[in-house]
Structure 1
Amino acid sequence: MKQIFKTTLLMAILTGLFMMVGYAFGGQQGMLMALGLAAVSNFFMYFFSSSLVIKMQDAQPLGNRYPQVERIVRELTAQANLPMPKLYYVETPIPNAFATGRSPQHAAVAVTTGIMDILNEDELRAVLAHELGHVKHRDMLISTIAATLAGAISYLAQLAFLFGGSSDDDDGGNVFAMIASLILAPIAAMLIQMAVSRSREYAADQYSHSILGAGDNLASALMKLENWKASVPPIAPSPSQEASAHLMFSNMFSLGGLQALFSTHPSTEARIARLKELDK
């Protein structure tokens, strides 16, 4: 019931944002069109959001690419009494992993080629256990819907800005359209992503710790990703990467300072500190 409530609330809030940008785009008619589009989008995203995320990331079926991933996931799912998820990989040097799907029976887990290059098998097992924690907790649906709807809001906001607001408003309406489409709607969508991201990352970290009996390998994996991020120039995410950043094991695009307030993940230091507390 809690998951149903959270999902319904998220869809209602994002639908409201969709309607707000629709109003900025075309007044009352634009708002009604956005409402209809949101209703259709909600239906399709409930059933097909995981497929959309897989396509957004250009993920490919794992096949025989990384047999150790399939072996580890089979062992972990048997231990946790979970169905075997579909497995994918993403061809990118950026080290990361993610889980998506509306239920454990329709789950998918993906790793990037970058994370396979830098983690040893124990660290990889800890990361995969973390991703299966998302599957076990059934929190993938709300995150996947957030990713797809937030991306849709951002694109619609850009259109509203380009077309200069509704045709039945005066100049004040155009100012509202510019503010809402260029600033408020994307930020609001991002804040919703953050709200459903940070607590679930801690919970998935704790699940990895509990199923493996220790958190040192997960902490080591987190530190390796943090060191990798520090060793390369800042990376500008694509729109699809930005929309699905909160699904990832670690946000490789977040920066320090003021921008850290808008990170979809807790800081690496905070996550490692919590793991150390669990080890006591």
Structure 2
Amino acid sequence: IAATSGLISKMDREELQGVIAHEMSHVGNYDIRFALLVGVLVGSIALLADWFLRFTFWGGGRRSSSDDNRGGGGLLIILFVIALVLAVIAPLIGRLVQLAVSRRREELADVSAVELTRNPMGLARALRSISDDPEVLEVANRATQHLYIVNPIKSFEDRAKSMWDTHPPIAERIAVLQRIAGQYGQDPNALG
């Protein structure tokens, strides 16, 4: 677990505890292992789709001459079109599954962080503070965005809406934390 110097300087103690507990929860919930498993599953589906495409492109290993051709080419064309569609759609669907799983793991890490700190509003204030920060994190990019507590990529019409986000929307995360705060006897409106 690492914290940027900007995070440390901008957070108060309760907010920093919430962020660190959130990241510790990713470790405790075996999110890395889970992400690896999902990645392998998605990659396997993409490989199978690619294999099917190549298999149908080369005629399934059959060689036929014009004397032998009995009209089986129509089936091969249909199989090729199906394989082509699968080869294009499988990686896209796989990526959407990865993103959905990633968002669910973020929600789990938020709830687990509250179990560790017993302070949902500390994490809620941290999320609000980080998301409201106008500074663009120069070192963040699409390859590293999943490493942050809040998606650091800010631009392109709210990051092209939430379908491609690795994190759930901040407002939703804060609303969940506010509901939990009521169960802990805290003021759910104390966002500061």
The two structures share one fold, judged by TM-score above 0.5: yes
TM-score (normalizing by structure 1): 0.44
Question: Quick check: 172-181 or 140-149, which moved more?
Answer: 172-181
Q: Between the two proteins, what is the percent identity of the paired residues?
A: 26
Tell me, yes or no, if the aligned pair for 1:153 and 1:186 is still in contact at 8 Å. Answer: no
- Find the counterpart in structure 2 of residue 251 from structure 1: 151
Secondary structure in structure 2 of the residue aligned to 1:197:
helix
CA–CA distance in 1 between the matches of 2:165 and 2:45? 17
Equivalent residue for 1:215, pick from 110, 120, 124: 120
Tell me, yes or no, if the aligned pair for 1:214 and 1:279 is still in contact at 8 Å. Answer: yes
Q: Which runs of 5+ in 1 are unaligned?
A: 1-108
Q: Relative to structure 1, is the Cα distance of residues 226 and 181 closer, same or farther in structure 2, using a 3 angstrom cutoff?
A: farther
Q: Is 1:226 aligned to 2:131, yes or no?
A: yes
CA–CA distance in 1 between the matches of 2:158 and 2:12? 28
Tell me, yes or no, if the aligned pair for 1:153 and 1:189 is still in contact at 8 Å. Answer: no
> More relative contact order in 1 or in 2 (CA 8 Å, sep 6+)?
2
Q: Relative to structure 1, is the Cα distance of residues 251 and 257 closer, same or farther in structure 2, using a 3 angstrom cutoff?
A: closer
Tell me, yes or no, if the aligned pair for 1:153 and 1:185 is still in contact at 8 Å. Answer: no
- Find the counterpart in structure 2 of residue 166 from structure 1: 57
Matched ranges for 1:107-126 at <5 A: 109-112=1-4, 115-116=7-8, 118-126=10-18
CA–CA distance in 2 between the matches of 1:113 and 1:267? 24
Q: Deviations 1:153-190 (Å, cap 9, x if unpaired)? A: 69969x99xx9x833386666655554334x1222212
Q: Deviations 1:51-92 (Å, cap 9, x if unpaired)? A: xxxxxxxxxxxxxxxxxxxxxxxxxxxxxxxxxxxxxxxxxx
CA–CA distance in 2 between the matches of 1:147 and 1:253? 22
Matched ranges for 1:259-270 at <5 A: 259-270=161-172
- Report how far residue 270 of structure 1 moved: 0.6
- Report how far residue 226 of structure 1 moved: 1.5
Q: Which runs of 5+ in 2 are unaligned?
A: 61-75, 183-192
CA–CA distance in 2 between the matches of 1:124 and 1:196? 25
Structure 2 counterpart of 1:127, one-letter code: V
- Report how far residue 204 of structure 1 moved: 1.8
Q: Relative to structure 1, is the Cα distance of residues 250 and 146 closer, same or farther in structure 2, using a 3 angstrom cutoff?
A: farther
CA–CA distance in 1 between the matches of 2:116 and 2:166? 25
TM-score (normalizing by structure 2): 0.60
- Find the counterpart in structure 2 of residue 181 from structure 1: 87
Structure 2 counterpart of 1:126, one-letter code: G
- Report how far residue 236 of structure 1 moved: 5.8
Q: Relative to structure 1, is the Cα distance of residues 204 and 116 closer, same or farther in structure 2, using a 3 angstrom cutoff?
A: same
Structure number with higher strand proportion: 1
What do you get for the CA RMSD once the two structures are aligned? 4.1
- Report how far residue 208 of structure 1 moved: 1.6
Report how many residues are paired.
162
